[in-house]
Amino acid sequence: MSPSLSEKFQYQEKRKAVDLSHHLSDLSRARATSPLKGLARYFGRPDLISLAGGMPNEAYFPFAAISGDALVPDSFSIADSQSESSLSWLWKLFGSRKEKTTSVTIPKYPANKDDITLKVALQYGTATGLPQLQKFINELVEKIYQPAYLDWTILVQTGNTDGWSRAVTTLCNPGEAFITEDWTYPSALAGTAPYGIHPVGVLMDDQGMRSDELRKLLAEWDEGARGCKRPHVMYTVPVGQNPTGVTMGLERKREIYDICVEYDVIIVEDDPYYFLQMGSYAAKLDPVSQAMHADPESWLSSLAPSYLKYVIDYQGRVIRLDTFSKTIAPGARLGFFTCNPRFAERLERAGEVSTQAPCGFGQSLVAQLLTTWKYDGYVRWLQGLAVQYKSRRDFLLDALREEFDMQMSIGTTSSWKGCTVYTASSKPRAGSTRMLEKRAYGSKALFSLVPPTSGMFVWLKMHFENVPGFQPDEEPSTMELKLFVKLAEAGVLIGPGRYFSSDEDNASPVDGHFRIAFSYASEEDFTKAVKIFGEVMREFFKE
């Protein structure tokens, strides 16, 4: 097997990114530096007296300092927390363990040259973000993502939804199409619709987007039949794919990257769940245990790499979107781009006339936290989070297995080919008069799932063909809506699958879907919700 293009380049000396500016949209090309923001290049002069900008004097900021108690980096164990969760009832009974915290303070004025201050953070700033935050992000990107070219650049944004909005309008003109997975993040679709920029879905498997289907789409693109030119932008969520929860490995990313080089496609890598990789699922009653990583560095080395990695993106055709929403707090409204400098400059121009810069409160608090924890502390925090979310996933899946009869098989068709699939049917209930009937006629499949390997969601495929009276020509979205309403009225809210479809018009006439989040609810609420879900499902399928 001949080496891929990215494999050929991995042993060569790093170079600067190639010029990909021909991908810029008309809107992006038309952007000039904001006249007032352009003055910022003079602000570094110590002898400068500025009378140009309309900046309020910091003496009138009503905050003299902001302080808070932050959790320490090792607040969450990196041991498999399933064994710990069995004692959770004891903590609830006798009181929870006291949280360990450390104090962080942002003063208005600096005591030292490099201090983060409210004087700077709460003032009008540049779209590039606080210098201390930039420095930390640069260290993070260099050590973890290890970009393959020399002149990569980071730029803050207000979360990945803002990041995608800026990226797509920087790259696409109205009427164009972009490539994505056949199921994807709804806001990514909704955000492009008003611009007349529409998605084209590619089938997935257990690693996300299929490279063979991507090549087929690009090679067979018919501009006349499609009504637009061949897409030159891809939007993808490769880790903890939203909504399916699958994780794309190195080789698949290489395959897709090489196809994107061949057909000149820019990859926008939306990766909010990168640090929530949790591996395969093993039920609590199964005699299977997974080795836990004893230290943060071995854990980091186990993670699927970013498209930025030195063995993949040697040209600088990836715009990576990172966010602190899943690792610190979504209310901080803070994330960052990593991309080539030409794209970064255009994205900065877009930011300085829209959001300008993320909120100074959020920036300063997150920056102070990260510089207090330092790189090693943040990585330890991230590993603890990954273990916590793995425990949540396992608890929800175990609860579903207790409520339903779950049969395991290997998928053979569609996007689940080769996946470990759990198919649920009703469990015979003690004392049920229908137990003999079930033994005689079997039990109908209600739904199927593939355990997620990253992220925050379980993706269910419904078997509506087993609903009595189901008509093949009935819209699956209609069945989804009926079941969604019944569940909501019973007290459980889950996400209808049609929200995530890149092409609702060509949906399966049989399959409906739902997305269930395991990120927020308590174990008590999970247990209650699964019981309600089981009752509604049995009634809906007339079990």
CATH number reported for the structural domain that contains residue 474 in this entry? 3.90.1150.10
> Looking at residue 367, which CATH number applies to its domain?
3.40.640.10
Structural domain containing residue 110: 97-388
Residue of 488, 497, 490, 523 lying closest to 402 (CA atoms) = 523
Q: Is the same domain home to 342 and 415?
A: no
Q: What is the predicted pLDDT for the residue at 38?
A: 66
Whether residue 33 is contained in a domain is answered as no
Q: Is the same domain home to 408 and 459?
A: yes
Whether residue 39 is contained in a domain is answered as no
Q: Contact, 457 vs 245, CB < 8 A?
A: yes
Domain count, the chain: 2
Does position 429 have pLDDT exceeding 80, yes or no? no
Q: Contact, 486 vs 172, CB < 8 A?
A: no
Q: Is the same domain home to 374 and 442?
A: no
Does position 440 have pLDDT exceeding 50, yes or no? no
Q: What is the predicted pLDDT for the residue at 87?
A: 41
345: exposed, middle or buried (Cβ count in 10 Å: 0-12, 13-18, 19+): middle
Q: Is the same domain home to 375 and 416?
A: no
Q: What is the predicted pLDDT for the residue at 489?
A: 97
Q: Is the same domain home to 379 and 496?
A: no
Q: What is the predicted pLDDT for the residue at 476?
A: 62
d(CA 119, CA 48): 17
Per-residue pLDDT band at 310 (split at 50, 70, 90): confident
Q: Contact, 515 vs 457, CB < 8 A?
A: yes
Residue of 262, 278, 271 lying closest to 217 (CA atoms) = 262
For residue 130, give the DSSP letter: -
Q: Is the same domain home to 373 and 408?
A: no
Whether residue 226 is contained in a domain is answered as yes
Does position 91 have pLDDT exceeding 50, yes or no? no
Does position 506 have pLDDT exceeding 80, yes or no? no
Q: Is the same domain home to 402 and 518?
A: yes
Out of 388, 417, 449, pick the residue that ends a domain.
Answer: 388
Q: Is the same domain home to 179 and 328?
A: yes
Residue of 384, 385, 395 lying closest to 517 (CA atoms) = 395
Whether residue 241 is contained in a domain is answered as yes
Q: Is the same domain home to 241 and 384?
A: yes
Q: Is the same domain home to 380 and 396?
A: no
Whether residue 157 is contained in a domain is answered as yes
Whether residue 170 is contained in a domain is answered as yes
Helix or strand (DSSP H, E) at 421? strand 420-426
Length of the chain: 543
Q: What's the mean pLDDT when you consider all of the chain?
A: 89
d(CA 357, CA 134): 13
Whether residue 12 is contained in a domain is answered as no
Q: What is the predicted pLDDT for the residue at 478?
A: 83
Whether residue 347 is contained in a domain is answered as yes
Q: Which residue has the higher pLDDT, 386 or 127?
A: 386
Q: Is the same domain home to 161 and 307?
A: yes
d(CA 513, CA 49): 61
Q: Which residue has the higher pLDDT, 297 or 514?
A: 514
d(CA 121, CA 115): 11
173-210 per-position pLDDT tens digit: 999 999 999 999 999 999 999 999 999 999 999 999 99
d(CA 350, CA 128): 11
Residue of 319, 339, 330 lying closest to 359 (CA atoms) = 330
Q: Is the same domain home to 337 and 408?
A: no
